[in-house]
Chain A
Amino acid sequence: MEPYRPHEILIEQGEENAAVVRRALAQLPDVPVRIVEREWERHTKLSSEGDPFAAGKRRLLFTRQRAPALHYCPAGTPGLVCCNYLVISLISNCPMDCSYCFLQEYLANNPTLKVCTNVEEVLAAVAAVVDRHPQRHFRVGTGELSDSLALDPLLGFSRNLVPFFAARPNVLLELKTKSDCVDELLYLDPKDRVVVSWSLTPPDIVDSEEHRTAPFAARLEAARRVQAAGYKVGFHLDPLIEYPDWEAGYRETVARMLAAVELRRIAWISLGSLRLTPALRTTIRRRFPHTRVLSGEQVPCIDGKWRTFQALRVHMYRTIRGWIQEAAPQVPLYLCMETAAVWAKVFGHTPACDRDVARVLTGPHLSPPVAG
């Protein structure tokens, strides 16, 4: 995978000496640097010419995070089964450029790649929440507004995150990635509290749609390496993309995925159909006119997003579930952003409540909750 190299580094005034800034500057000595005022992006008229979203990815802004540290994952949409996932966003926007990425729409008005300079403060705020509720299990991820590991060689956030979560018996951290940037992780002890997970699509989709990500084989090799270093791994067949050869493509994907790692150390596998808002479809058409992701038989669903029509996506879920459960029946499997009706058709039952899903996913990995 090509290392990330911005065209320009912007540092919010007063943050010049933050550890993450010094680390990045040392690695990118010849990239132009500018000191900017607080909330620079809000006060700056960015060019709307060409591809502002792509330009934003090449502008790296170090800024203090002032927003609350912990959020519920936005997948918890009314009408859909939710897995009670929490997210921390230390980075906003991503050096990769997948054709289907929701950030193209979500961050259209603030596309600058932003990195938080006060990671210790953010983690202290997280500690204040999770340590106050030792009887509760939390599953937390950093891969919502960016890839969890793609910038790790530059920023080294895993050195903050892994020891922090390794020390907490009631929290499981998920680092979700399409990269192979795992070197930093190999020297840290996750104490079974960190799951490193990969989003996987068939190799030809990786090559044509997931720009600047690690190749399929490199992701699996990275998974093998972190597993050998003591981490649990997870896989997300999400987005599940329907295209003419999807069955052959996903059969190969599942077979290679399950052959690459020790099955008993897989924390979970999720399946989630490609979902696109109408605005995102328009953006994708403009930015990736030759993409294949819009050519499936997608229709508008109850949440306004377009997905493969229900009967076909249920067929896809059932087919893939069958392959996975045949080879790895013990691995927890769940659906992302689906209705209870679809869960019932795929698994034969619907979770009684959202906490059921979360319990199935965290249960095997965290110690029993402390009474309290």
Chain B
Amino acid sequence: MTQPDIPCALSERVAAYARERRLSPPTLARWQAWPEEDKAALLVLARELQLNENHLRDFLDWLEEIAVRDRCRVADLLTAPAIQQPLTAHTARSEKLKGVKEALRKIRYPRLSRLEADLRAAVKALDLGRQVRISFPPALEGDAITVTLTARNVRELADCLTRLHQRIEDGRMQKVFDLLDQA
């Protein structure tokens, strides 16, 4: 005789997921300490994205930090359109994970994300071509930008330098440096 299909208690399902993905005891304990609705919402997300220990720890960190800062519930955060959109998109799991993490990072780091977006837009507006690449320090910590030129011959190099020189002369490059300072 088979046992009737009784739905497991939530904490048992979380523990089962932890066993399946070999989560560490501290990570599991942290998750289990959450309110039921938050715990359940993260379980849905974890199952969908097959989160491993490292990803799950990032999610726990960011979700707890946002919930404290914005005085909101994790369950509400995870069901918000910004998270649901990449989660329900018809894309590969790795793409979904990338999309959800990016969306959550924007909520966790709103000003830093905005500044990064502004800088990307400012660099794009410079229209330097594909052979000139401008990059910024990780997390914008520091005040130096890196300019990489790719050239197959002297003419290409001269073109790159001319474009750069023009952007310096017309003040548009200065705007990129100025933006780095604006929070």
Q: Which residues of A contact B (CB under 8 A)?
A: 243-244, 285, 289-292, 294-297, 299-302, 309-312, 314-315, 341, 345
B142-183 CB mask vs A (1 if < 8 Å, else 0) is 110000000000000000000000000000000000001111
Which of B30, B109, B138, B142 sits near A297, CB closer than 8 Å?
Answer: B109
Complex contact A299–B139 (CB within 8 A): yes
**Complex: how many Å from CA A124 to CA B127?**
68
Q: A311-B181, A345-B181 are in contact. Are A300 and B68 (CB under 8 A)?
A: no
Chain B interface, number of residues (Cβ within 8 angstroms): 25
Q: Which residues of B contact A (CB under 8 A)?
A: 30, 33, 61, 64-66, 68-70, 108-112, 115, 138-143, 180-183
Instruction: Note all chain B residues with C-beta closer than 8 A to A290.
Output: 68
Instruction: Note all chain A residues with C-beta closer than 8 A to B110.
Output: 297
**Complex: how many Å from CA A17 to CA B33?**
49
Complex contact B139–A314 (CB within 8 A): no
Instruction: Note all chain A residues with C-beta closer than 8 A to B141.
Output: 299-302, 309-310
Q: A309-B112, A312-B111, A312-B112 are in contact. Are A295 and B65 (CB under 8 A)?
A: yes
**Complex: how many Å from CA A365 to CA B81?**
60
Instruction: Note all chain B residues with C-beta closer than 8 A to A294.
Output: 61, 65, 68
Complex contact B112–A341 (CB within 8 A): no
Complex contact B139–A309 (CB within 8 A): yes
Instruction: Note all chain B residues with C-beta closer than 8 A to A244.
Output: 69-70
Q: A299-B112, A315-B183, A345-B181 are in contact. Are A310 and B66 (CB under 8 A)?
A: no
Instruction: Note all chain B residues with C-beta closer than 8 A to A341.
Output: 142-143
B49 to chain A, nearest CB (A): 22
A281 to chain B, nearest CB (A): 8
Which of A285, A301, A302, A311 has the largest count of B CB atoms less than 10 A from its CB?
Answer: A311
Complex contact B112–A297 (CB within 8 A): yes
Complex contact A309–B183 (CB within 8 A): yes
Can you name 22 A-B pairs with beta carbons within 8 Å? A285-B30, A285-B61, A290-B68, A291-B68, A292-B68, A294-B65, A294-B68, A297-B110, A297-B111, A299-B138, A300-B138, A301-B141, A302-B141, A309-B111, A309-B140, A311-B115, A311-B140, A311-B180, A311-B183, A312-B111, A314-B181, A315-B182
List 4 extra interface pairs beyond A299-B112, A299-B138, CB under 8 A. A294-B68, A297-B111, A309-B111, A309-B140
A241 to chain B, nearest CB (A): 12
Which A-B residue pairs are the 10 nearest by beta carbons?
A299-B139, A295-B69, A312-B183, A311-B183, A295-B65, A315-B183, A297-B109, A341-B143, A309-B112, A295-B68
A79 to chain B, nearest CB (A): 11
B176 to chain A, nearest CB (A): 13
Q: A295-B66, A314-B181 are in contact. Are A289 and B139 (CB under 8 A)?
A: no
B179 to chain A, nearest CB (A): 9
B9 to chain A, nearest CB (A): 23
Which of A243, A289, A295, A296 sits near B33, CB closer than 8 Å?
Answer: A289
Which of B33, B64, B68, B142 sits near A310, CB closer than 8 Å?
Answer: B142
**Complex: how many Å from CA A294 to CA B62?**
10
Instruction: Note all chain B residues with C-beta closer than 8 A to A315.
Output: 182-183
Which residue of A is nearest B69, CB measured?
A: A295
Complex contact B111–A345 (CB within 8 A): no
Instruction: Note all chain A residues with C-beta closer than 8 A to B183.
Output: 309, 311-312, 314-315
B121 to chain A, nearest CB (A): 16
Which of B65, B108, B110, B142 has the largest count of A CB atoms less than 10 A from its CB?
Answer: B65
Which residue of B is nearest A244, CB measured?
A: B69
**Complex: how many Å from CA A244 to CA B110?**
11
Instruction: Note all chain B residues with C-beta closer than 8 A to A296.
Output: 69
**Complex: how many Å from CA A243 to CA B70?**
10
Instruction: Note all chain B residues with C-beta closer than 8 A to A243.
Output: 69
